[in-house]
Amino acid sequence: MKSGERSAKLERRTSETNISIAINIDGKGRASISTGIPFLDHMLRTLVFYAGFDAEISASGDLRHHIIEDVAITFGETVNSALGERKNIRRFGYSLVPMDDSLALAAVDMVKRPYSVISIPNGDIDGVPVSLIAHFIRSFSTSTMATLHIKVLYGDDPHHSVEAAFKALGLAMKEALSSEERAVNSTKGKI
């Protein structure tokens, strides 16, 4: 990764997981991802592609729940680290994404006040409960220090609903992290 780019690399090692993540926010959407959970890999590739990041993510661990949670925490912490003081960013972003039968809305505020509202229909995707995916998004919001609102407006297929949500989140983040002429996009003068 080039000097001056918004990038970071972090590792998280616990008695349950071993996570390594490198992010370049100003990338081209390239990803090298291996978590041992194919659906999580697919969603991370989707998020990275639509956000326009470059990412290297590797994870291993004892339980699927621990891997999903710790990848979310580490991914968020890495993005947060790469953003530094969050100067010259648009701050807000949103997207509405259709995917076959599903329609998802995502809105983000990179304000350093972690909060999330997640509404994704329940289901199971390749052995991964959608509740774990919602937990991933909440954990990512907290560790990124961002406010995220994601709502699947409708959809019958859980895979399509979750994938539309991750595409929308990626596009919303791309917008929120894009350049802004104002050094700090806040009436308070500080994010």
- 77-115 pLDDT per residue, tens: 999 999 999 989 999 999 999 999 999 999 999 999 999
Residue 185: the pLDDT is: 59
**Res 44 pLDDT > 60:** yes
Exposure of 70 in the CB half-sphere (CA atoms within 13 A): 24
The model carries a pTM of 0.93
- Residues contacting residue 95 through CB under 8 Å, at least 6 positions apart: 105, 106, 167, 168, 169, 170, 171, 172, 175
**Res 26 pLDDT > 80:** yes
Average pLDDT over residues 152-180: 97
114-145 in b/e burial notation, b at 16+ Cβ within 10 A? bebebebeebebeebbbebbbbbbbbbbbbbb
Superfamily for the 7-176 domain: Imidazole glycerol phosphate dehydratase; domain 1 (3.30.230.40)
Separation CA 90–CA 184 (nearest Å): 9
Separation CA 163–CA 46 (nearest Å): 8
What is the overall mean pLDDT for the chain? 94
Amino acid letter for position 110: M
Average pLDDT over residues 33-54: 98
Q: How many residues does the structure list for the chain?
A: 191
Amino acid letter for position 172: A
| Residue 173: pLDDT band with limits 50, 70, 90 | very high
Per-residue HEC secondary structure of 148-179 comes to: EEEEEEECCCHHHHHHHHHHHHHHHHHHHCCE
The domain locations on the chain are 7-176
Structure tokens of 110?
A: 């990179």
**Res 164 pLDDT > 80:** yes
Average pLDDT over residues 30-49: 98
Residue 3: the pLDDT is: 46
* Torsion sign (Cα): 32, 38, 42, 47: negative
